[in-house]
Chains A and B, each alone.
Chain A
Amino acid sequence: MFFAGVDIGSTSTECVILNESGEIVAADMRPTGANSAKAAQAVLDSAVEKAGLDAPPHRIVATGYGRVSAPFAHKVVTEITCHARGVLHLFPQVRTIVDVGGQDSKVIRIGPKGNVIDFVMNDKCSAGSGRFLEVMARALEVELDDLGPLSEKSAEEISISSMCTVFAESEVISLVARAVPVEDIINGIHKSIVNRLASQMQRMNPEPDIVMTGGVAKNSGMVKKLSMAAGHTVLVPENPRMTGALGAALTAMGLERE
């Protein structure tokens, strides 16, 4: 018997398939694009193929912003619950999760029994999210994956005052024009996002272990800064984008037991 979780986010869609013992037998992801239903079906199909299954998984749970556009799902569950389950599976001691996705950032507090006790999400503005970093990388003409290593070479931390993605972009362009080193600008961008995340986190009284998930957790510069702001080492799963889908797959397993 196999169980699948599909996390349909604003930027990417992920799928994780588990076997009866809860081991990951396949995982896959792709950009969500304009048609989230199509992306969801495609990622499920390719994960099923990777796992070598000849029938669809026994139970499927969908999560993420596009969770309602997955007609194959037996249940839809929010990404808050799924992220918590996924991370808890990997880090049983986790108490605080900081997830920075394409369009939103959220901080989730986990109680001693592994339940979600509270969460905050950014409001309708995408400042401080993955999209913010994408826009900045484009303005600086550097690859997204290079932001982390580059920022670690910075000698000086400059400050980016605009919260708004569009204004921050023009601020960055003017810094480039003034020949401020790219590493320092990136360092400043990271600082501005971390400041926002830190204030979100403070509202939740963060306790260790703190785990960061979402695509932005791949950025080593961000993780270091967040650790400094939190006063604790921030842990990152091996595949920080997959925790939502993993949590969904674990929920699918739970459905079978209900």
Chain B
Amino acid sequence: MAQFVKTDAGKRLTRLITNGYMDNIVKAQQGAFVVWIAIIVPAEIFAGFDNVIYCVPESHSALCAGKGVGVSLCEKAENLGYSMDLCSYARIDMGCHFNQGADSPAGGLPKPDLLVSNNNNCTLLAKWFDVYHREWDIPHFILDIPFCYQPQKQRDMEYIVSQFQDLIQTVEKLSGQKFNPEKMAQAWENSVEAAKHWRRFLAAAKNKPSGITAFDSFVQMAPTLTMRGTPELAEHYRFLADETEARVDQGIVPAPNEKYRLLWDNIAPWHQLRKMSSRLGALDANIIAASYTYCIGSLEGSLDPLEFASLSPLEGMARVQNFTICPHGLQLRGQAMKQAIEEMDIDGVVFASNRSCKVYSLMQMDQQRYVQEELGVPTVMIDVDHADERKYSEETAFVRLEALLESIDEARR
């Protein structure tokens, strides 16, 4: 049976996140220039300005879903006429912000002065930000990120860097503030340092039994999105990795009787974290890692961390644009998964087909066949929606998950 002990890093995280949201509200009231960004937009750039803050609607939507208000906010957006088939992050966000921050555990996000999105994950996101652009008459800057079938090419990197330079000028012009490249470089160093400790934390999954559950890493990911470039983030991940390593040394692990080591493919099911991990824990199964959490700081097509030493801060940030899973072709996804399965000695893979995030889910059937047939590892596909609980059925998912465990048992006989 899994143990749920609140770790010190867990308590710290709650404090950090709460303070982060509160700080933003206060700073906005005091006149800071507010930017809303899509995840992976290089937040370090904003650290180069004296009084520019940023908010991440996607992360805020995940928080809402995790706190149980995802469905009510989705319904608010649907009442405004937005289709139920849109990504639930978008629906939660619009449901919340077209109702003055309704239901948000963080009181909503302060109204933006600039919107910055990108198309490296999906095109829906740019459309979603466009709604605010139209409704509130706020400028919208879209970063165009090429899809990658292989590791990022030099020419793509240069193309992205040139757009960052445009972005810097745009913020200078709109905020009336002067950009300081040294402050940005410092923020970039903090991010690189944070990624190093994050990897150390994730590596605890290699231990047998695993030192972490993927559910721990899902929640601990939040500050990467909302506090990028800050020294507090680097410090928090150092603390998290140190504490996790110390616990492993003392034999304190989440599933001491671990019988099944599983890998999760897709975004976290925010509304199910607790329920799913405890129900799996009762079966001595642990989802020890997820393709989702490795998207911070891994080379395309592998789990290996990228070395930034030879890159300038803007080049490093351009490189990061291709870190996430969604802009990766099938081959890169397959390679990374193979490495994860081998390095972490995975017994089975859970492909969570996400009703909201088509880009993440689209290639899963081929990927599943590859893992099953080429790598000989049992897999299962379940239906989820990362933030809209109405599109998830616990019993339907669990009959499949339990069948996966039974087939792992059979294969061991």
Contacts and interface: CB of A to CB of B under 8 A. Distances in A.
Given A65-B395, A124-B393, A116 B406 contact: yes
Given A65-B399, A115-B411, A121-B400, A80 B406 contact: yes
A80 B403 contact: yes
B182 to A, nearest CB: 53
B383 interface: yes
A91 interface: no
B410 A115 contact: yes
Interface in B251-294: none
Contacts of A79: 399
Interface string B375-413: 000000101000000010101100110110011001101
A78 B399 contact: yes
A116 B407 CA distance: 6
Contacts of A72: none
Interface string B221-241: 000000000000000000000
Nearest to A120: B381
Contacts of B395: 65
Interface in A30-52: none
A104 B393 CA distance: 13
A123 interface: yes
Contact of A116 (B381, B391, B399, B403): B403
A120 B364 CA distance: 14
Contacts of A81: 403, 406-407, 410
A207 to B, nearest CB: 15
Nearest to A103: B396
B220 interface: no
Nearest to A116: B407
A115 B381 CA distance: 19
Interface bracket on B: 10 to 19
B407 A115 contact: yes
B412 to A, nearest CB: 10
A76 to B, nearest CB: 8
A interface residue count range (under 10 / 10 to 19 / 20 to 34 / 35 or more): 10 to 19
Interface in A56-107: 65, 77-81, 104
A188 B89 CA distance: 40
B128 to A, nearest CB: 25
B372 interface: yes
Nearest to A117: B407
Given A78-B399, A80-B399, A123 B383 contact: yes
B372 A118 contact: yes
A63 B383 CA distance: 21
Contacts of A116: 403, 406-407, 410
A101 B264 CA distance: 29
A59 to B, nearest CB: 17
Given A65-B399, A121-B400, A78 B406 contact: yes
B392 to A, nearest CB: 9
Contacts of B402: 78
Contacts of A123: 383, 396
A77 B406 contact: yes
B403 A124 contact: no
Nearest to A66: B395
Given A80-B403, A81-B410, A203-B365, 14 more contacts: A65-B395, A78-B403, A78-B406, A80-B399, A81-B406, A115-B410, A116-B403, A117-B407, A118-B372, A119-B403, A120-B381, A121-B400, A124-B391, A124-B393
Interface of B: 365, 372, 381, 383, 391, 393, 395-396, 399-400, 402-403, 406-407, 410-411, 413
The 8 closest A-B pairs by CB, nearest first: A80-B403, A115-B410, A78-B403, A81-B406, A78-B402, A123-B383, A116-B407, A78-B399
5 contacts: A78-B403, A78-B406, A81-B410, A115-B410, A115-B413
Interface of A: 65, 77-81, 104, 115-121, 123-124, 203
